[in-house]
Amino acid sequence: MILNSTHLSQIWNDLDPCWKKILAEHLELGDYFEAADIIYAPTITELDLYKTEVIDLWPLRLMPGLKKLDISHTQIQKPAAIAGLKQLEELEANFCSGLDLRVLAALPALQVLDISYPQQPHVHLAALERLTSLKEVYCNCCDLQHLKPFMKLPQLEKLCVQFNPLSREELCRFRRLNPHVEVLF
């Protein structure tokens, strides 16, 4: 991404103060964060937005090399930028509001996913079937009725589905088809 000074200024002006603070902390710039420092955003590989007031994730487009993202305990309204994080390996999104699981289907490198304790029930769980790199999934207290989205994940090693109204039959069927997966229920 090539940025000229006009573009940097525009990005800077569009950034919410909350995002300016977050980026300054992650780039270890303290109170000296300014428009020109945006060029360092692509160097961020881990981002912790836990319990922040962030609602729009568009600044994630500035961090294409992000490998780990925590959006737990947030009130996200615009999660689409997550789809551009092609190198993302770990996403923590427990107690998260507004996460559309369909955006996750575009994440080929995702290995660890925590979508436990959603503020509203998850819809579009079928989108998780496309996450073939997943090794660990935490989906506690998600009102799961079945485990179909997780049945054919070839790399899956651990599935945590505690506090869900799953039947014994459903659990037994999953374990029969996926004997290599550790299931925590």
pLDDT tens digits in sequence order for the chain, 185 residues long? 555 667 877 888 899 999 999 998 999 887 777 888 888 999 999 999 999 999 999 999 999 999 999 999 999 998 999 999 999 999 999 999 889 999 999 999 999 999 999 988 898 999 999 999 999 999 999 999 999 999 999 999 999 999 999 999 999 999 999 999 999 99
What are the residue boundaries of the structural domains of the chain, listed by start? 1-43, 45-184
**Buried b / exposed e along 3-36 (16+ C-beta atoms within 10 A):** beeeebeebeeebeeebbebbbebeeeeeebebe
Are 165 and 141 contacting, i.e. CB atoms less than 8 angstroms apart? no
Question: What's the token pair of residue 135?
Answer: 């090794």
Instruction: Tell the CATH superfamily of the 45-184 domain.
Output: Ribonuclease Inhibitor (3.80.10.10)
Provide the 10 A C-beta neighbour count for residue 60: 25
Q: Residue 120: helix, strand or coil by DSSP?
A: coil
Report how far Cα 8 is from the mean position of its chain's Cα atoms.
26
